[in-house]
Amino acid sequence: MTTTVASSVQTAAIAASTTANAATTSTTATATTTTVALVTVFTAPSSCSSSWTYEASTYNGISSGLLLQNAISEDIDGTCFPPGFDQSGRVFEDQIFSPGACPDHYTTHTPLQVSGAITTAACCLKNFTFYTSSDYQGCLSTFTGSTSVAARAGGFGSSDYTTSTTISGTYTMWGLPIVIEYQSSDLSLYTTATATSTTSTTSTTSAAPSTQSSSSSSGLSTGAKAGIAVGAVVGALLLLGLFGFWLRRSRAEKRRQITPIAPETTSQPAELYQDQVYEAPANENAVPIEADSTAVKPAQPPSVVAELP
């Protein structure tokens, strides 16, 4: 679901300043707010995924206790938050980063307040839900499992300190929101316009504080990935064009190198050999024989009449 934030969290918007380098403090009838300029997108080190402290039910009235970031003011982990961040516990944030943008791996939630051109919004870790009530403000998620974590011990105020303990079961993770303030002219200060997102959905994904995944800060931005994709397409088209040009040249060269075959000359057919025909001498004594219709009979020798003595 989408989390709706009460507009009473901040009673007045503080004008964004793109040149402020030091924290400033303003006081209204109901709250004192410290403003810190954040002109770059902050990225926390990966070790911050295990920077959680167990707070037993004796501190918060919740039967299973809580897993907190910066559980006590004496033990704020400054490396896991933007420079100048000084918030702890579950109370309302009294610090605003202006101009500001959500840190890397954070999500911008529904604006707390919009006053003219200025927008005030809360940033929570990804997969966390922004929560606010009349007394508390935080970013919530759920952890189920067993792990070793730091633990709040001692008492309240200056006697608080941390030790270590092992927990097992299901616990609410209470992260600290980072409140930012910006106007459209501030967005050009940041490489990623994380301040432009306005909604976030509830997630029940659980992650152990010591193993919570965190993407590397050295990953390519969306613009860089798009540039690489365009370059790859242009390069592929260029290679295809060069290959087509080479193929056409190669075929044309082959056609020029083919030697035409001369047509064969037609020669006169050789004169067939003919046997010489010789005329046989006439036999004066031959008696003509009538030829049989079916066979040719040999000529009979002439009859000789013997003269009686």
User: How far is Cα 22 from Cα 37, in angstroms, rounded to an integer?
Assistant: 7
Please check whether residue 166 lies inside any domain of the structure: yes
Q: What's the gap between Cα 66 and its chain centre?
A: 36
Phi-psi region of 52 (alpha: psi -120 to 50; beta: other; left: phi over 0): beta
Please check whether residue 83 lies inside any domain of the structure: yes
Where do runs of H (alpha helix) occur along 30-170? Answer: 57-60
Nearby residues of 192 by Cβ (< 8 Å), 6 or more positions away: 41, 101, 104, 221, 222
pLDDT grade, residue 255 (50/70/90)? low
User: How far is Cα 290 from Cα 302, in angstroms, rounded to an integer?
Assistant: 15
Please check whether residue 110 lies inside any domain of the structure: yes
pLDDT grade, residue 13 (50/70/90)? very low
Q: Which domain holds residue 55?
A: 7-209
Based on the structure, what is the number of domains in the chain? 1
Phi-psi region of 70 (alpha: psi -120 to 50; beta: other; left: phi over 0): left
Res 12: pLDDT: 27
Please check whether residue 220 lies inside any domain of the structure: no
Q: 128, 30 in Cβ contact below 8 A?
A: no
Closest CA to 83 of 129, 130, 36, 120: 36
Res 234: pLDDT: 73
| 275 or 119, which is more confident | 119
Please check whether residue 43 lies inside any domain of the structure: yes
Please check whether residue 37 lies inside any domain of the structure: yes
Cα 41–187–176 angle (5° rounding)?
45
Q: 72, 54 in Cβ contact below 8 A?
A: no
Please check whether residue 40 lies inside any domain of the structure: yes
Interval 67-91: pLDDT, tens: 999 888 877 888 999 998 988 888 8
| 112 or 125, which is more confident | 125
Please check whether residue 183 lies inside any domain of the structure: yes
Q: 66, 171 in Cβ contact below 8 A?
A: yes
